[in-house]
Structure formats: structure tokens, C-alpha cells
Amino acid sequence: MATDHELQVQRKREVETKEESTMPARLFQPQTDIFETSEALTLVLEMPGVDKGSVEVKVENDVLNIEGRVDFSKYEGLQPLYTEYNVGHYARSFRLSSKIEQEGISAELKDGVMTLVLPKAEKAKARKIKVT
């Protein structure tokens, strides 16, 4: 795949919810790729600054909730001089279109990118229909 085009800045999107959050800090939405194979649904989420122990993935009522927390204590003692982006925890939810085998969900985190594999439940897998 050609990757020689120049990258443009993608502005961080804040989470917009109907309910008001009880804490004043802002949350950000991870940039997400989602693709589906016959076996699973895969989500790839960009959450720079989030380490393995700070992610929470939940499926409730067919809604997938993902939360990633950044360790902002690293910023203590740092005085901002010039900034171009803001930092905060990440959160995003997706309504799932197919049934998921919850126990089989696996997550991998590398260079601030989380790959989440949600295996489809047996009955949600597509059957090949033979034309007779």
C-alpha cells in the first residue's frame, strides 16, 4: 500500500453525550476503524497515552463501551508554553449490529492503538446459501 502522502492534522473530537457528565474534565473520542469478517468484528482505536491497565471494555444491551484513561500525573511540574492539542481520557460507544461472544473478546494495545476483536456468536455468523 502506498503511504507516501503527507499526513494532515486530525483534530481531536470531544465526546458529545445527551447526558451531562458529573465531572468537568473533557473526554475525547478515539479515532476508530471498524471492520468485519465472517468470524469477528474488529475495532482499532487510537488512544495515545493509554497503557494496558487503563482500558475498560464492556458490552451491555448490545452496546459496546470503551474507556481509556491517560496517566496525566506525568504532566505534574510541567508548565505549558505552547500547545496545539489537549489531553484527556477517551470514551466511545457503539451499538453492535451482530451478537457477540462476550467471553471471547480480546484486546491488544500497541503504540497507543488498541485492537479489539469481538468474535461473533454462533447464530450471528452468516450462512452460505446454496442456490439450487
Stretch of 58-66, 81-89, 98-106 contacting other proteins, by CB under 8 A: 81-89
By C-beta, is 3 or 132 nearer to other proteins? 3
Stretch of 57-65, 77-85, 100-108 contacting other proteins, by CB under 8 A: 77-85
Q: Is 73 helix (H, G, I), strand (E, B) or coil?
A: helix
Q: What is the DSSP letter of 105?
A: -
By C-beta, is 78 or 131 nearer to other proteins? 78
CA atoms within 13 A on the CB side of 124: 18
Closest CA to 31 of 57, 11, 16, 52: 11
Task: Supply 63's cell numbers.
Answer: 452496546
Q: Give CA–CA dist 12/21, Å, rounded.
A: 19
Q: Give CA–CA dist 87/72, Å, rounded.
A: 8
- Residue 33 Cβ, how far from other proteins at the closest point, in Å? 5
Stretch of 47-55, 56-64, 98-106 contacting other proteins, by CB under 8 A: 47-55
Contact footprint for other proteins (CB under 8 A): 1, 3-10, 23-26, 31-38, 42, 44, 46-51, 72, 75-89, 109, 111-113
